[in-house]
Structure 1
């Protein structure tokens, strides 16, 4: 098949433009692949869940009768031990759930220790 002299430059220009468009789009335009978009969506969903449930955990913590003593215990612990303390106390378990949601205990500890 023979391509006419006026078609060949148009096809080469279109192909070159597509390559340049893809490079600019992925490098500076914020384009991402489907897998990257899925990863970002999962991360954002996890962050949203933690940011919504952490205040509930703090409310549950403060609702206990001896919350002042427990808060003193919590603040005496190092920052990496605080989430475990909250999980073991059961405050990171949401009503109707059996287990604590990952990350809620860290967020809860951050809320409780910054309130003091």
Structure 2
């Protein structure tokens, strides 16, 4: 099949235009693939679950019989080790799970009032 000479610039323009629109759309236009949308949704859902569980962590810290000793240990830990200290207390363990959650421990450290006496 031969295409007329006058049609070739239009075909090339359409192909280049489609490539340009695709690049601009995915780079700056906010378009994304299904996989990208799924990753974003999973990240957002995880953040929301952690935010919902922070009150559980804080309540566990308030009702713990060894609260004073554990808070002292957390306060004495350096700022980047406090998350690990909260994980060791058991307050960052999601009910029904086997071990502590690092993200929940980080959020719990931020929720604990460590500067108060």
Which interval holds the TM-score relative to the shorter structure? 0.7 to 0.9
In the superposition, the TM-score normalised over structure 1's length comes to 0.77
Question: Is contact 2:61-2:91 (8 Å) kept?
Answer: yes
* Alignment RMSD: 2.5
Partners of 1:60 and 1:66 in 2: CA distance = 11
Name which structure has the greater RCO, CA cutoff 8 Å, separation 6+.
1
In the superposition, the TM-score normalised over structure 2's length comes to 0.76
Give yes or no for the alignment of 1:94 onto 2:94. yes
Question: Is contact 1:71-1:112 (8 Å) kept?
Answer: no
Hey, what does 1:51 align to over in structure 2? Answer: 51
Hey, what does 1:10 align to over in structure 2? Answer: 10
Question: Is contact 2:54-2:104 (8 Å) kept?
Answer: yes
Question: Is contact 2:87-2:93 (8 Å) kept?
Answer: yes
Question: Is contact 1:92-1:104 (8 Å) kept?
Answer: yes
Q: Which runs of 5+ in 1 are unaligned?
A: none
| Higher mean displacement: 15-24 or 45-54 | 45-54
Q: Which runs of 5+ in 2 are unaligned?
A: none
How far apart are 1:46 and its partner, in Å? 2.9
| Number of equivalent positions | 116
